[in-house]
Chain A
Amino acid sequence: MNSVKLFAWLTLALPLAGTIAIALIGRKLPGRGAGWLGSGALALSFASAIGALVSLQGLEHDHRQVVAVGWDYAETVGVDAQISLLVDPLSVFMILVVAGVSTLIHLYSVSYIGSDAGYVRFFAYLNFFVFSMLLLVLAGNFLLLIVGWAFVGAASYMLISFWYRRGTATEAGMKAFVINVLGDVGLVLGTYFIFKHAGTLDFLTTFESVQDDFAYNDADLVAGCILLLVGAFAKSAQVPLHTWLPDAMEGPTPVSALIHAATMVTAGVYLIARMHPLFEWAPIAANVGAIVGCVTLLVAGSIAIAVTDLKRVIAYSTMSQIGYMVMAVSAGAYAAGLFHLMTHAFFKALLFMAAGSVIAAMAGQQDLDKMGGFRRAMPFTFGCMVIGGLALAGVPPFSGFFSKDEILLLIGDRGGWYWILYVAGYLGALLTGVYTFRMIFRAFFGEPVAQARELEEGHLHHADVHTNPANDEVEDTEVGFPGPEHHIAEREPTMKIAMGTLALLAIVGGLLQIPKVTHVIDHFLEPSFADSTLYEREPSGGLIAFGLVLGALVGIAGIAVAYLIWVKNPQIAVRARERLAPVHLFLVNKWYFDELIDLLIVRPAQWFGAWAQQTFERVVVNGLLVGGTTGVVRAGSSAVRAAQTGFLRYYAALIVVGIVAMTLYFLLVS
C-alpha cells in the first residue's frame, strides 16, 4: 500500500475511532476530556489529510487519481460493490477543508458547549459527522457515496435535534431528515439510471466510458443527472428543497457552523463537481443546476434582508452562497466553485462562531431586534464578525472577493444566456453586502442593550429563567436542553484560537487564486478535471478587470446601503418597512415556501393518507379482501358443519348406506 492510500484511510479512520472512543469512555474522562479527545482525533485526521496532499503531489501529474480498494463488499451479477476510496486532487481538497474546518470547530465547541449536560454525546455525534462527511468525499464509487450521503443526513438529524427535549428542535430535525431522505432517494435513483448503462458503480470507469455508454444529451443520462441534482439540492438547501436549513438553526451554534455552513451543505457542490463528466455530456441537466443555483442565491439573499433571527440571517446567506457554488460548478467553473466552497467554509464558520459568541452573551437569545451595541463589550467577536462579513460581502482583499469574482467571471465568459446569471450574481452580491452588514450593524452598533452594558461592566448576562428563543417556552437546563451557562469568545482561549485562525484564513485565503497572478487551486485541481472541456478557460483581460472593479464596488455599495439604513438614519428602515409592508411580509414569510410546500405536498399527502386509511383500508382491504375471504370460508364451513349432528346412529347409518351403495355399484358394474 503506498502512502497516498494509507493517509486516505487514516484520515477516514481517525474520526471513526474518535466517535467510538468518545462513546465508550467519554463519560469517564475528567472535565472537558471528551472534547479534547474529539478535537485530537480530528487534528490527527487533518494531519493525515495533509500527508495525503503531500504524497499525492509527489506523484506524476497524470497519475494523481489513486483508487484505494479496501475489500469487495459484495460481488453479485454485474454489481461491483467495493469499499474503495478515490484519492485525487478534488477529494484531497475536500478532506483538507472538511478536516481542517472541523478541527477548528471542535476546538471552539470544547468551550462553547462546555456547560451542556450532553457534552460527551455532542462530541461523539460531531466526530461521527466528520467521519461521514469524509466518507462522502473520499468515496470511490456510487455505493459508498450513497452511504456517506445518508450518514451525513443522519448525523445532521441527530445534531439538529441535539437538545431533544426542546420541541422546536426535534421538529426541525425531522424536517431536515425528511427532506434529506428525499435527496437520498434522488441520488439512488439517479445512480440507477447511470448504472443501467455504465454497468459499473466505480466512478473512474463510469466517467471514462460515459461518452460510449450514452448519446449526447441522452434522455436517461439527463434524467439520471437531474435526479442526482435532486440529491444535491436537498443536501445543499437549494430552492425548492431549502426550507429545512433555516429551521436547522435550532441546533447548537457549532453544529450550524460545521454542518449547516462549512461542510455538509456543500456536499451538493462536491457531487456536481465530482460528476462533471456526466453533466458535461448532459448540458440540459447542468443548465438546470445553474438556473436553480441562481434562483436560490437571489431568493435566499432577499429573505436574509428581512429575517431578524441572527442565525437564520447567516443560514439564508449560506443558502445564497451555495447558490453561487452550485451555479459555478453547473456552469463548468469547477475550480472557482470549489475555491468559493473553501473560502466560504472559512468565513461562514467564522461568522457562525462569532454569532454563537453574541448569542451566548445574550444568554441564548437570537433575535436581532433585541440586540445592539455589542461593539465595545465584545471587541474580539466584533472584529471576527467584521472580517467574516467583509469576506462574505466580497470586499477586496478578503477571500470572498476573489472567489465570488472568479465564479462570476467564468460564468460571464461563457456568454449567451449565461449573461443573465452573471447579472443576477452581481445583484446577489449587492444583497449579500446589505444583509451581512445589516446583521452586523444591528447587533454591534447603536445603543447598547442591557446585556451588552452588563458585559461591559464585566458580568456575563445570565438568564434567570431559561426559555426557548423560538417560542419563549420555559425550559430547565437538564440533559436535552441547553446548559445553564454560556461561553463567549472573549473569555475562552480555545474559542479565540479557533476564531482567530479562521479570521486569518478568511483574510488571506483569497490570495491562492488571484486572476492573472496566482493559480494555486486551478493547477492543483487540474488532474481531477483533465477530461473537462470547460476547465481553465482564460477570460479576456478586459472582462477580468471589469469584474474585479464591479465586484469591489458592488460589495462596498451593499455595505454603504446597510450603513445608511441601519446606522446613519434608522428611520429609513422603519419607513421602508411601512411603505413596503406587503414586500416585507412576503420576505419575512420566506416567500411562503413552507406554506407552498404544505399546500402542494404535505396536505395532498395527508389527504391521501386519510383516504387510504378511512376508505381504502376500511372498505376495500378490510371489507372486501379480508372480509370477503373470511365470509366465504365461514359460509362454507357452516354448511359443512350441519352434517356433523353428533348422533352416533346417524353416522353408523351413513356408513351402512355408503357401503351398501358401493357394493351395489360394484355388483352392477361387474
Chain B
Amino acid sequence: MDIGWYLTVSALIFAIGAAGVLTRRSPLVVLLCLELMLNAANLALIAFARMHGNAEGQIFAIIVMVVAACEVTVGLGVIVAMRRRRLPIDVDELRELQG
C-alpha cells in the first residue's frame, strides 16, 4: 500500500485538529483537538517507520503518547481548577494576560 494514503489521512486529521483548536472556545474541546493533532503526527511517524522498516519512528510515537498523556493530565487539572474557582470555561474569556 502506498505511503501517500497514510500521509493523506494523517494530514487530514491534523488539519481537523488544527481547525478545532482555532475555532472551538471550550478548553476541553481544544484539548481534544490537540490530541487529534498529536495522533495525526503519530500516524505519520509510524507510516514512515514502516516504510523504512525500522523501529525508531514507532518508539518516537510512544514517547509522543507519553507526552500527550502528561499534557492531558495537566490540561484537565487546569480545567478542574477553573471549574472550582467558578471561572468561565471559555478560552476567549480567559485573557487576563493581554498587554
Which residues of A pack against B, CB within 8 Å? Answer: 640-649, 652-653, 656
- When distances are taken between beta carbons in the complex, the residues of chain A under 8 Å from B97 are 644, 646
- When distances are taken between beta carbons in the complex, the residues of chain B under 8 Å from A656 are 18, 22
Known: A647-B91, A648-B94. 6 other contacts (CB 8 A): A641-B99, A642-B99, A645-B98, A646-B99, A648-B92, A649-B92
User: Please, how many angstroms separate the alpha-carbon atoms of A652 and B21 in the complex?
Assistant: 7
Residues 73-98 of B contacting A (Cβ, < 8 Å): 91-92, 94-98
Instruction: Please classify how large the interface on chain B is, using the bins under 10, 10 to 19, 20 to 34, 35 or more.
Output: 10 to 19
5 closest A-B pairs (Cβ-Cβ)?
Answer: A646-B95, A646-B98, A641-B99, A644-B99, A648-B91
User: Please, how many angstroms separate the alpha-carbon atoms of A642 and B98 in the complex?
Assistant: 9
- When distances are taken between beta carbons in the complex, the residues of chain A under 8 Å from B21 are 649, 652
Cβ of B79 to closest chain A Cβ, rounded Å: 13
- When distances are taken between beta carbons in the complex, the residues of chain A under 8 Å from B96 are 646
User: Please, how many angstroms separate the alpha-carbon atoms of A558 and B17 in the complex?
Assistant: 117
Cβ of A648 to closest chain B Cβ, rounded Å: 4
Residues 2-49 of B contacting A (Cβ, < 8 Å): 18, 21-23, 25, 30
> Per DSSP, are chain B's interface residues mostly helix, strand or loop, or mixed?
loop
User: Please, how many angstroms separate the alpha-carbon atoms of A652 and B24 in the complex?
Assistant: 12
What are 28 contact pairs spanning A and B, CB under 8 A?
A: A640-B99, A641-B99, A643-B99, A644-B97, A644-B98, A644-B99, A645-B98, A645-B99, A646-B96, A646-B97, A646-B99, A647-B91, A647-B92, A647-B95, A648-B30, A648-B91, A648-B92, A648-B94, A648-B95, A649-B22, A649-B25, A649-B91, A649-B92, A652-B21, A652-B22, A653-B22, A656-B18, A656-B22
- When distances are taken between beta carbons in the complex, the residues of chain A under 8 Å from B23 are 649
- When distances are taken between beta carbons in the complex, the residues of chain B under 8 Å from A644 are 97-99
Question: Is the beta-carbon distance between B22 and A645 smaller than 8 angstroms?
Answer: no
User: Please, how many angstroms separate the alpha-carbon atoms of A655 and B94 in the complex?
Assistant: 19
- When distances are taken between beta carbons in the complex, the residues of chain A under 8 Å from B99 are 640-646
User: Please, how many angstroms separate the alpha-carbon atoms of A461 and B65 in the complex?
Assistant: 108
Cβ of B23 to closest chain A Cβ, rounded Å: 8
Q: Which residue of B lies closest to A649 (CB)?
A: B22
- When distances are taken between beta carbons in the complex, the residues of chain B under 8 Å from A653 are 22
Q: Which residue of B lies closest to A640 (CB)?
A: B99
User: Please, how many angstroms separate the alpha-carbon atoms of A647 and B94 in the complex?
Assistant: 8
- When distances are taken between beta carbons in the complex, the residues of chain A under 8 Å from B30 are 648
User: Please, how many angstroms separate the alpha-carbon atoms of A648 and B94 in the complex?
Assistant: 8
- When distances are taken between beta carbons in the complex, the residues of chain A under 8 Å from B92 are 647-649
Cβ of A647 to closest chain B Cβ, rounded Å: 6
Cβ of B52 to closest chain A Cβ, rounded Å: 21
Q: Which residue of A lies closest to B18 (CB)?
A: A656
Given known A-B contacts A652-B21, A656-B22, A645 and B95 have beta carbons under 8 A apart? yes
Cβ of A453 to closest chain B Cβ, rounded Å: 91
User: Please, how many angstroms separate the alpha-carbon atoms of A79 and B22 in the complex?
Assistant: 75
Cβ of A657 to closest chain B Cβ, rounded Å: 10
Cβ of B69 to closest chain A Cβ, rounded Å: 21
User: Please, how many angstroms separate the alpha-carbon atoms of A344 and B38 in the complex?
Assistant: 104
Cβ of B32 to closest chain A Cβ, rounded Å: 14
Q: Which residue of B lies closest to A648 (CB)?
A: B91
User: Please, how many angstroms separate the alpha-carbon atoms of A643 and B92 in the complex?
Assistant: 16
Cβ of A314 to closest chain B Cβ, rounded Å: 77
- When distances are taken between beta carbons in the complex, the residues of chain B under 8 Å from A652 are 21-22
- When distances are taken between beta carbons in the complex, the residues of chain B under 8 Å from A643 are 99
- When distances are taken between beta carbons in the complex, the residues of chain B under 8 Å from A640 are 99
- When distances are taken between beta carbons in the complex, the residues of chain A under 8 Å from B22 are 649, 652-653, 656
Cβ of B28 to closest chain A Cβ, rounded Å: 13
Among A642, A644, A645, A646, max chain B CB count under 10 A is at: A646
- When distances are taken between beta carbons in the complex, the residues of chain B under 8 Å from A642 are 99
Q: Which residue of A lies closest to B94 (CB)?
A: A648
User: Please, how many angstroms separate the alpha-carbon atoms of A646 and B97 in the complex?
Assistant: 5
User: Please, how many angstroms separate the alpha-carbon atoms of A487 and B99 in the complex?
Assistant: 80
User: Please, how many angstroms separate the alpha-carbon atoms of A647 and B23 in the complex?
Assistant: 12
Cβ of B38 to closest chain A Cβ, rounded Å: 14
- When distances are taken between beta carbons in the complex, the residues of chain A under 8 Å from B94 are 646, 648
Cβ of B81 to closest chain A Cβ, rounded Å: 16
